[in-house]
Structure 1
Amino acid sequence: MKLLAFSDLHLNAAAAGRLVRESRNVDLVLAAGDFCNARRGLDKALDLLAGLTAPVVAVPGNCESEAELRDAAPEGWHVLHGGGVMIDGVTLFGLGYGVPVTPFGNWSCDLTEAQAAEALAGCAGADIFVTHSPPKGIADRTSTGLSVGSTAIREAIQRLQPKLAVCGHVHDCWGEEGKIGATRVVNLGPAGRFFEVAA
């Protein structure tokens, strides 16, 4: 299966246009959250992505709630937040929001590590992990060098060993990647990345 994956669109029209064009050549699009800015502009962001031609699996970022994304998502999108879906023999599991809780204030949609661990505990296996937040220690450092990734997400990846784990959230690490066991972990960014995953 050929994938196009991105995160942190934040209403970037130029990036959305590229993603729409590139979606013509893939089987599935993965969207790892933060379509809009601080809970504003979600409908406009999804309008920018209206031309995506492949099926979409999306998680909410900390800039939109699960309910807001479900309400705004076009028909045929799979919105995951503590749940999974199988598409063409490939199993995906998704968890959105900022983990751990961000310092951004009341508008930010966040989970504590305990809440994230509880949401991830129900996953018995997945080929692809889609989270908004990165796992602790990989592609999770801010411009000041602070590691802000999630221990709960890291532990789930270690336990489940999906073939691929994609995330976003930490803008300073867009494009960075690493490994947890055999799992490739990639912080995406809005430019989009291509991947191949076998069923």
Structure 2
Amino acid sequence: MTRIMAFSDFHARAGLVPALLSAAKDADLVIGAGDFCNMRQGLTEAMALLDPLAEKAVVVCGNAESAVELTAATRATVLHGTGTRRVGLALFGMGCAVPPTPFGDWSCDLTEAEAAALLAPMGSVDILITHAPPKGVADASSSGRSLGSTAILAAIERLQPRFCLCGHIHDSWGRRGHVGATEVINLGPEPVLLEL
């Protein structure tokens, strides 16, 4: 049995660190699904807070930081249109907001076509890690509007990983759903514990 601790949308909140470190103590793998800082500011400091998790962490960028910036700021494994194997599991990750947000130039966004191209190399995987959720699952705004990605949904439908772990839509933190056999979890900043 592999123990996983996963979270998203840390947003440089130092007060979250004790709970994350405690939950990760017995985990074999830590997954971070993006947005470690705010509006491209304070990433180095945010990742320093999470550095005790870095050795067993696999992360993707959010829309608050780019993959290049995140790679420079952490010892963790950063995935963006790439995969890796950890503790016997095949992982694939893609960061950024999909589709583009209305937030302006600071936001790291992808079009659906760009996301589809980054997801195209994904083969059979156990866990897909994305910042954005798939369209129609754990992706509702406070007004009920579906804000997820059609490209991510199509990739899940094609390959049916065991989990898609995401974040991004704060109003859907903690929500779960299914796309076929795949369980989708919008993680949020509180630690989520999984066993595979």
Is the contact between residue 51 and residue 74 of structure 2 (CA under 8 Å) also seen in structure 1? Answer: no
| Pairwise CA distance, 1:13 | 1.1
**1:108-158 CA distances to partner (integer Å, 9 max, x unpaired)?**
000000000011111111100000000000111111221110000001001
Residue correspondence of structure 1 range 109-120 to structure 2 within 5 A = 109-120=108-119
Unmatched runs of 5 consecutive residues or more in structure 2: none
Q: Which residue of 2 aligns with 1:58?
A: 59
Residue correspondence of structure 1 range 1-199 to structure 2 within 5 A = 1-52=2-53, 55-74=56-75, 77-197=76-196
| Pairwise CA distance, 1:48 | 1.3
Secondary structure at the residue paired with 1:134? coil
TM-score, with structure 1 as normaliser: 0.96
Alpha-carbon distance between aligned partners in 2 of 1:16 and 1:102, rounded to the nearest angstrom: 28
Q: CA RMSD in A?
A: 1.0
Alpha-carbon distance between aligned partners in 1 of 2:160 and 2:69, rounded to the nearest angstrom: 30
Q: How many percent identity over aligned positions?
A: 52
Alpha-carbon distance between aligned partners in 1 of 2:181 and 2:17, rounded to the nearest angstrom: 31
Alpha-carbon distance between aligned partners in 2 of 1:106 and 1:54, rounded to the nearest angstrom: 32
Aligned AA (1:188): L
TM-score, with structure 2 as normaliser: 0.97
Which shifted more, 43-52 or 158-167?
43-52
| Pairwise CA distance, 1:53 | 7.0
Is the contact between residue 61 and residue 96 of structure 2 (CA under 8 Å) also seen in structure 1? Answer: yes
Aligned AA (1:91): A
**1:83-115 CA distances to partner (integer Å, 9 max, x unpaired)?**
000112200000000000010000000000000
Alpha-carbon distance between aligned partners in 2 of 1:73 and 1:50, rounded to the nearest angstrom: 7
Aligned AA (1:113): E
Report how many aligned residue pairs link the two structures.
195
Unmatched runs of 5 consecutive residues or more in structure 1: none
Secondary structure at the residue paired with 1:52? helix
Displacement over 4 Å in runs of 4+: none
| Pairwise CA distance, 1:54 | 5.5
Is the contact between residue 24 and residue 53 of structure 1 (CA under 8 Å) also seen in structure 2? Answer: no
Aligned AA (2:187): L
